[in-house]
Structure 1
């Protein structure tokens, strides 16, 4: 059986999650992992059977046995590593966003395309069973022509001060998933974005010229309209809901819960809160996105979420920030 040999660059929370998932695949060998703080990852990597552990990702790129790399390092390192990986002949899975700079993202994606490398970007929500069903209903015309999209996306608690300082802001860090979902679910490009936002949860966001609460209005090339509401703090859990209203009906999905049991008494109706965070909510989606990346390499097929998708989500994110700063709708040019 042919296997894909993988190197993972970055051993933080998401790098470790991907490595552990890949170790369960019968058609993958996770040969190496790199991190500048390699001593913190040493015991974990040895425990799951990773052969090579290094603080220099170049050792991964220089290894002729490695077919593909996962870029899970901090966002500001993505473009350089992506370009170097493409030049080294590796296929690439890169966590979102490709970079904080649209120009740098375009350069990195262009290099991968020019060299014929497969590039998949980590928009894992596309692989969630709930969102997949919504997309299927749109594709098969079960709800008719989509008219209105509503996305609720709220984190259970805000990130740390240190994280906020290096996050790139709510739109490139958090809302970017929702921008990708909007394009994916409706099947049309966003042509205009208008944002209202505020720092209502913690003044630390204002310190970094950021917001923690936002309402985002979208217009699609198809004529459909969309609304996204974002919050960095929903005290009851990770709130991920979607509804699409179409000409023939509506489809909506609720949160995932630890169980669906409800307690009904004279005092009220009670059930568990939603799953607390993204690692729980999208556990299987993370596995599925990697399954499809590996399949694309082995079967010589296109990846399901490519560099073009990454750039379009980033274009919307930057336009959203501009809209908030200027207090007006921002038009988004048609993709070239």
Structure 2
């Protein structure tokens, strides 16, 4: 879906991209593991938001220059011990003046929830805006519902397969992948700036 969206953007189907909104939520049932990992964690922006930042840079085609991050420990005060939160968000301004908004949470009661929205001057693309495990609807005594994926392995199984195929193709064809180690370095730098803004409460320049 993300590759399809990128191809649509590059072909001009939604005009000029001016904002990307991205949500990443882990289910509450995994909270004990998140708390246990807390002392070793880089914080929610580094543990969860790097993928959202990756997507923003990819879809917008520019680098962020300013970030303001907020959040807190709304349900689990344990995270405050490590200068972290159980739900956080950040607003970024990019070098081409586009906007990026991301939200990461550890307390989704309904399951693993990842969704992305790309705003363009001529259209909008939504990916996973109504999270669901598959196209099945269940009608029973409790009403009508759709089930959700419960972890990232299930949600992104097709993506992981495509990633492995691309890796093998790069080896066979003796070519470099489109995404490089420099992208990973750039995203880590941005995520640390988000963490700095969250901890200080200040608008932070990304140099």
Give the TM-score normalised by the residue count of structure 2: 0.90
Q: Secondary structure at the residue paired with 2:167?
A: helix
Report the alpha carbon displacement of residue 256 of structure 1 after superposing the two structures with TM: 5.1
Q: How does 1:1-336 map to 2 (within 5 A)?
A: 130-157=1-28, 158=31, 159-254=33-128, 257-262=132-137, 270-333=144-207
Cα pair 1:193 1:319 within 8 Å, conserved: yes
- CA root-mean-square deviation: 2.0
**Aligned mates of 1:252, 1:172 — CA distance in 2:** 24
Report the alpha carbon displacement of residue 319 of structure 1 after superposing the two structures with TM: 0.4
Q: Secondary structure at the residue paired with 1:155?
A: strand
Cα pair 1:151 1:242 within 8 Å, conserved: yes
**Aligned mates of 1:263, 1:189 — CA distance in 2:** 43
**Aligned mates of 1:256, 1:220 — CA distance in 2:** 28
Q: Which has the higher contact order (CA 8 A, sep 6+)?
A: 2
Cα pair 1:155 1:232 within 8 Å, conserved: yes
Report the alpha carbon displacement of residue 226 of structure 1 after superposing the two structures with TM: 1.3
- What are the ranges of 5 or more consecutive residues in structure 2 without an aligned counterpart? none
Could you say which residue in structure 2 is the equivalent of 1:119? Answer: none
Report the alpha carbon displacement of residue 262 of structure 1 after superposing the two structures with TM: 3.3
**Aligned mates of 1:149, 1:177 — CA distance in 2:** 13
Cα pair 2:138 2:146 within 8 Å, conserved: no
Cα pair 2:64 2:92 within 8 Å, conserved: yes
**Aligned mates of 2:199, 2:38 — CA distance in 1:** 18
Cα pair 1:262 1:269 within 8 Å, conserved: no
Q: Secondary structure at the residue paired with 1:301?
A: coil
**Aligned mates of 1:289, 1:304 — CA distance in 2:** 12
Deviations 1:250-284 (Å, cap 9, x if unpaired)? 1111255233233579x996222321110100112
- What are the ranges of 5 or more consecutive residues in structure 1 without an aligned counterpart? 1-129
CA pair 270-146 structure 1, distance change in 2 beyond 3 A: same
CA pair 281-300 structure 1, distance change in 2 beyond 3 A: same
Deviations 1:204-252 (Å, cap 9, x if unpaired)? 2112221111111011122111111110110101111111111111111
**Aligned mates of 2:99, 2:51 — CA distance in 1:** 18
Structure with higher Rg: it is 1
**Aligned mates of 1:268, 1:228 — CA distance in 2:** 33
**Aligned mates of 2:165, 2:138 — CA distance in 1:** 38
